[in-house]
């Protein structure tokens, strides 16, 4: 009977990749500010040491970042993390075309991996569209 109860107990999720999404992106003075939402879907804390990510629009790299994160996300929780990266000519042109109304949205792919303590390297990928934020020039979501 004890074996049956143990089999029915909740399984603790561990080692699953987090859900990583763009909360907001802005560009100003040749810099891009990126704000990510990182959701830990695991039943245990996720100790993130570093991240390697890229955002592409129509097969053109908007920007990439590799570096430390050093944050802990408690089980089944979400944290916001921000980083600034240098803006390239391509990224400036793409974001300006969106801001100026030349295009209504920019389809993007966010992909990368995080280095964790205890769970190794976890990959993530998400596709979406960037839109202008009304009343906030240079800001996108």
User: For residue 34, what are the contacts with CB-CB under 8 A and spacing of at least 6?
Assistant: 22, 24, 25, 55, 63, 65, 82, 83, 84, 85
**pLDDT tens digits, one per residue of 59-118:** 899 999 999 999 999 999 999 999 999 999 999 999 999 999 999 999 999 999 999 999
Residue 8 pLDDT level (bands cut at 50, 70, 90) = low
CA distances from 52 to 39, 49, 63, 67, 114 (A): 16, 11, 11, 7, 6
> Residue 26 pLDDT more than 80?
yes
The per-residue pLDDT for 7 is 53
- State how far Cα 24 lies from the chain centre: 10
Q: Could you tell me the domains of the chain?
A: 18-135 (2.60.40.1820)
Q: Is the pTM of this model over 0.85?
A: yes
Between CA 117 and CA 124 the distance in angstroms is 17
- CB count in 10 Å sphere of residue 11: 7
**Spatial distance between the Cα atoms of 90 and 111, rounded to a whole number of angstroms:** 19
């Amino acid at each position: 009977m004890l074996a049956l109860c143990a089999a029915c107990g909740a399984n603790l999720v561990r080692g699953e990749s987090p859900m990583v999404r763009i909360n907001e992106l802005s560009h100003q003075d040749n810099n891009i500010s990126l704000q990510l939402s990182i959701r830990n879907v695991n039943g245990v804390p996720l100790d993130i040491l570093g991240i390697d990510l890229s955002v592409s629009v129509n097969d053109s790299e908007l920007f990439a970042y590799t570096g430390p994160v050093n944050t802990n996300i408690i089980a089944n929780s979400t944290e916001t993390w921000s980083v600034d990266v240098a803006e390239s000519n391509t990224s400036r042109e793409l974001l300006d075309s969106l801001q100026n109304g030349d295009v209504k949205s920019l389809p993007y792919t966010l992909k990368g991996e995080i280095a964790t303590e205890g769970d190794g390297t976890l990959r993530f990928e998400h596709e979406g569209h960037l839109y202008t934020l009304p009343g906030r020039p240079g800001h996108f979501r």
